[in-house]
Each structure stands twice: as structure tokens, then as C-alpha cells.
Structure 1
Amino acid sequence: MKLYFFRFLLPFALLIPAVSLFAEMKTIYLKNGQVIRAEILQQTATNMTIKTTEGKTIQLNKSEINTVTFNEPVKIPQDEKKPIQAEQTPTPQIAEVPKPIVNFHIDQLKRNDLEVYFGLGAGRYSPETQELPVLIQNKVGLLSGTLPTIIDKPTHSPELSQTYGAIYTWRRWSGGITGSHLGNRSTYDSHSYGSGMIHSTGSFPERQSSLKSEFSFLAFTNERFDLRPTIGYQYFWGQSQDTNLSTSYYIDSGLYLYSQGVMKFNETLKGYTIGLKATIRMGERWENRLEYHNLTLSGNQDGSIVSAFVPANLSQVAFYRQGQNLSWNANGFHLLYRLVYRVTPTISVYAGFQFYEWKYNLNSDFQYLYSSKDGLIGVDLSNPNAYLVQQKLMETIGKTINLESRSAILEFGLMKRFEFL
């Protein structure tokens, strides 16, 4: 009975076309990439009839369909044809070598180094001591009514100077040697009036050298400031020499006497110094270095003038030698400033100046005048005490005369620091 019923329904199943069981909107993806949103009206084993959202009825072959979904349409990405680019060889990159960090910091409490320096510049040396014999004669002449000799203000043209030094530092302690050499060309011009006029002129070099040993102690230090009390012992050598000193003596009738001579003064001073050194740092590279020292000196000076006197009467030609031996004390100061730039941690350049000044206090003075014709002038061998009294008088007068000496240096130099382990 059941088999009979199945056979009865089979023809109807083959004749009746397949009808969509779901009347819902679906998304149909075609193989050509097209996407259709539509309702499936009818389908068979080989084709499908759909109704699009625009109301169009379309019949599709199932061989054209890729897939059917209930989801909203999603655009299937297509492979884009990218332009073929020529293969480029990459440019080799040179790696930058990192710059080493330069450390300019110096631990002042752990120092163990030697600093040497050398500088060049312009110097000026202007002592007043060679004028002392004339100044004494002027005061002695006042007692007899003699007019004084007028000395014009000299000129000083600076010449090359040198400075140098070497300072060893170990922790707080420092010690070393410093020195300088400077000079200039000076002029001398004087006039005196009596029965006639005497005019003397000269142009000559003047030189001064110094050498100092010193010790200092770092009393205070921080990142910006150092302070060092300092003691030392210093020598000074000065020289003034004129090989062309000329003197003319005029009377009413004209030139009466002419002399040509050589003037030479040598001075030596030495003594103790005490002072302070300060360093003020501005950043890593710049430093201000200042020094101030009091000078307590003593020494002597030997001076002489050798002249040939040629009067109008040539039979009276004579040679004269005027000499002077002095001993004295001197008190003054030394001021130094340098602006230092550190090129590297151990090499620096600097610019600065130095200034010396001191005043003399005469201890003893001995003067003489010798003539090739008359021997010692002003000396009466029959009464030597008178000569000694005269010398003492001149020495006493000399102690009332204030004399000074000044020196200045403008310098540019190079420093090198050698560090030890």
C-alpha cells in the first residue's frame, strides 16, 4: 500500500518546479565580481530566477554564481596590478661614530700635574733711579743759589716681552718658578742754566728681568672659585744703557763745550713676596686668574757716566767718569690678571697683563767724579773729613727724595698641563 502511494506522488514531484522556501532578500556573488541584492523567486538544478531590489526579474545560470548569503553585500577586493618597480640597490649607510665626551672638570683636591706656560707681548720699564744724582745736585745747589737742572718727562716705547713659568700641583699644595723679561726704549732730556746753558740728550734701551720661586696652598675651592695664599722669593735685574749720551754747553758766544759719553746703570733687587691667587671659572672652558703680591725688596745700584769733554780750546780735552753706588730698600706690589680659555682639558691659551710698582728708601749713597786732568774732583786730600761730610750730606739729602719704579707687561700665551697618575 505504501509503495503504491509513493509511486502515485513521484510524477507530481518531477512536474512541479522547485519553489523557493524562503522569500527573503539575499546577496548573490557572481564569479565576474558582480554583487546582486535580490529575492529568489524560483530555482531549478541549473538556473535561478531572482527579483532585484530595483524590481527587475532576472534568470541566472547557477554556473555563473559564486555564492549566496543572507548577509549584507561586501565588496570582494580584487587584486590590483601594482606597477613593477625596478629593483633599487640600497645606499649604504655609514654609521656615525659617537663623539667622545670631553671632561673639562678638574678635581682640585686630587690634582697631580705640572702646568707650564710661555707668553709674548709688549713690555715697559720706567725706573726713576738714574735721575737721582741730578736731583741731589739740585738740592745741594739750592744752598749756594745755583739754578736747578730741569729734567723733561721721558718717553718710553714698549718692546717685546716674554713671560714663562712652571707650577707643580699636588692636591692642595703648589710650587714652582715664574719669570719675565721686558724692556723699552727711553729718552732723556735735561737743561740747566747758569753762566750758560747745558743741554743733555739721550735715547737708550732699558731692560728688566725677574725670576721668582713660590709656594701656595689651596685654602678654599668649589665649582666656581679657588683661593690660594702664596709666599715667594723674587729677584729683579734692571739695566739702563745709553752709548750715545751727548751734552752741549752754550755761552753767549756760542758752543763752548761738547761731550759724548756712555751712561750705564745696573740695579739688583731681591726679597720676599706674600699674596693671594684666585681663580674664577665661567663654565667649563673660561677662567679668570688674578694674583696680588706685596713686595719687600732690598738691593743696590751701580751707575756710571764716562764722557769725553771737547772744549773750544782743544788743548783742554779731558775724560770724565762720574760714578754712583747706592743701596736701598723697596716696597711695592705685583698685580697679575689672565683670561684663560681651555682649548682641551690640558691645553689653554690666555691673554692678560702684569704690573709692578715699588718705592725706594735710600740706605747709603756714594758718588764721585774723576777727571783725566784733575783726578778726583771735590776731594781735598789735606782735609779728607770735609769730603766725608760732603758725602754724608748728599746721602742725607738723597733720603728725602722719593723715587719709584714701574713695570708693565701685556701678554698673550699658551699653557700646557701634564697630568701624572
Structure 2
Amino acid sequence: MDFWGLTTLALVCFLFFQLIWNKGYKARRLPPGPIPLPILGNMLQMDSKDIFTFFDKMAKKYGPVYTVYMGLQRFVVLHGYEAIKEALIDQGDDFLNRAALPIFEDSFKGHGILSSNGEKWRQNRRFSLMTLRNFGMGKRSIEERVQEEAQCLVDEFQKTKGQFFDPTFILGCAPCNVICSILFNNRFNYDDKTFLNLMRMLNENFRLLNTPWIQEKLNPQSVFNYKELTATGSNLFAAGTETTSSTLRYGLLLIMKYPKIQAKVHEEIDRVLGSSRKPSMQDRVKMPYVDAVVHEIQRYIHLLPFSLPRLAAQDIHFQKYVIPKGTNVFPLLYSILYDRKAFPNPYEFDPENFLDKSGNFQKNDHFVPFSLGKRLCLGESLARMELFLFLTTILQNFTLKPMVEPKELEIIPLRSGIVNIPSIYKLALIPR
């Protein structure tokens, strides 16, 4: 057969495949989506360097609920606040299960908060919340630990003596130490060998409160065991360290990028706190601009742009569609954080997104960096506290100086899997 004959045959086969596929979609009431290629799915249509453009384009074409295939795996994508809220809150029980991610399966084997489902997840979450509350979560004692660590962070930064350095390691130590102080009732010096080993191996040598576990051991209905304990502890360390440190690192970069914003932050800090009084969470209501900057950092960087995928544990009737059992579901959090209806210029870093015309802080329902629904990040209150106190304390004590002109700073993230991380940079901290 000649070239034109092969081409004609391929075209006929594709049109036939398209006809059969479209009929199958209608029969199964699947959300619409682009026709996938055999084996490859829609992978060739996706640009790994800018996958957001693909997802936005599909939403414009097919609506806020659509289906794509990554290889042989089917994903139903939820795009925009209304669709995600309807799924994760209004039908929260239907979308409660976490999809299996190879990185979690290899590390935790289905144990812990992040990768468990059903009764195992409920017991893990209940245990974690109880333990964190017993150790002071939401109480003044936790704030005091964060304030102490913020001062230690400043002391460590002062050792740089105004020289340029990469802040990645130090900013990782601070939130890790907060978790250590909560769980172990002890913080570590940043050069402590034990602490350095813990930083490198967060999933080893971990012990949490033994007594609740031994209570659980005597409970015949419990699925909580030592594997769940260690996996949950590792989850707390990983989630409580990396997410906060990456946000802090990204935040300093953004503040350096915009000197006028840094100047406004300094002005408000000087007016409310002065140069010596350490900030507290009570000061946040008196510092609407700083609070707006912290929120805008989290909105702009959309650290977990896709959230963690959910799994349809059974056929789900959602809107006018049926999502088949076993389907992965992607709630695109970035589509809420970058919604033009809520944030007129979403691709610009602008703290005014969280301020009213009088300069007062205003909440926004589209601020969802911690996700929505029953699997909302259980460390949200701690993360909010750390970000406000760490950033405020740093900027109370230092002026951030970049190695290059601010306009030359690169703020586009280095995307790594499902997490946005900032480019590597160096800065100098000039004492104020």
C-alpha cells in the first residue's frame, strides 16, 4: 500500500474511533473531553512546561467538568470555584477518597493521613487532631513556640553579616523545629547533628506520643497501629516543613521583586510594632497590609496547584454526569486562586486583592491554598501562624537585598510534580 493509501486508512480508522468514542461518552454519561489516542491518551496535547494553559483551554471548550486521559488513566478535572465547592463540600463524602500516588505508595504503603482512606483515614485524622490539640495546637503555647523559633531564625540570619547567601536550608530548619518543639517538646540548634539527620530523614527515628497508641492497641475496632503512627508522624513532618519553608522562600523572593511593597510592609511594622517588640497573632488585625501580603503570597504561588487527586470509590452522580468507579479526580485549586472574577489581575502579585478601598483586610472565599472540604489541611492554623510571624519578624529586623536588580528576579516557579517551588536565589539581609 502506498503512502496515500496508508494515510487514507489511518484517517478512516481515526474517524471511526472518534465516532465510537463519542457514542461511548454519551452512553456512559461521562464528562466531555478531548478524544484520547490509544495508550497515550491526551499526553501529546499537554505541554509539561505549561500544563495550566492546557487545562484552562479545555475548561473553555468543555466546561468546568471534563475528562482527560494521561496514558491509560482517566482523570475528571474540576475547574473553578463552583465545581470544586460542589464536589468537595456539597458532595464531600463522594469525593473523600485519595487517589493512589506512586510516591506515597512507595513511602507509606497506604498508611498515614495523606494516602489512607475510609475508616483508617478517619482514625488517623482524629488521632492527629487530638494529639496536636493536646500539645497546644490553637493555644497560646504554640504561638510562643513559633515566636521563639522566629527569634532563633533572626539570630541565624544575623550570622550572615549582610553577605549574599541561599536561604533554603535555614528557612527549612525553622518550621521543622516548630514541629519538633510540638511533638518532642524540644527544639534543636541548626547545626545539631541529630537535627541535621532529622532534616535529611524525616521519616526515620520518629516517635510520637506512645500512650494513645497503646490505648488504641486494646481497642478491637481500631485500625490504628504502629505503622499508621510512624506514617502519620512522617506526614506531619513532611507537610509541616516543606510547604511552609517553600512558601517563606517564595515570599522573600516576591517581596524583593517589588521594593514598594517591601517599603509598605516596613512602614506598617515600624508603626505598629516598632523595632523591638516581637510580633504576635493579636497584631495581625492591626497590620492589614502585612496580612494581605501573606495571603497574596499564598494565592500567587499556588503551592499545590492541582491539590492531591481524589478517587471515585464508586460511581458518582455529579451534575448531569456519571464519574465511574476508579476514576481519578483533579480539583484544580489554581483555577480558584487565579479566578478573574475574584482577582481581577490574577497573574500579577498584588496585595490589594485582600484589601478594601479603606485599606482594611477583606476575606475572600476564593482563597483556598489549604484545599476545601473534609480533607482540608489539618495544619492550616499552624501554617498561617508561622507564615505571619516568621515573615513579620524577618522584615522587622532586615531589609531584603537581591543580588540583581529587582526587575531581573525570576519569579516563575520551578514546577516539580504537583508542587510549585521557587527558583534558587541568593539574597542579603541588611539589619534595620
Length-normalised TM-score, structure 1: 0.20
Identify the structure with the greater helix proportion. Answer: 2
Identify the structure with the greater strand proportion. Answer: 1
Larger radius of gyration: 1
Length-normalised TM-score, structure 2: 0.20
Q: Quick one: higher RCO (CA 8 Å, sep 6+), 1 or 2?
A: 2
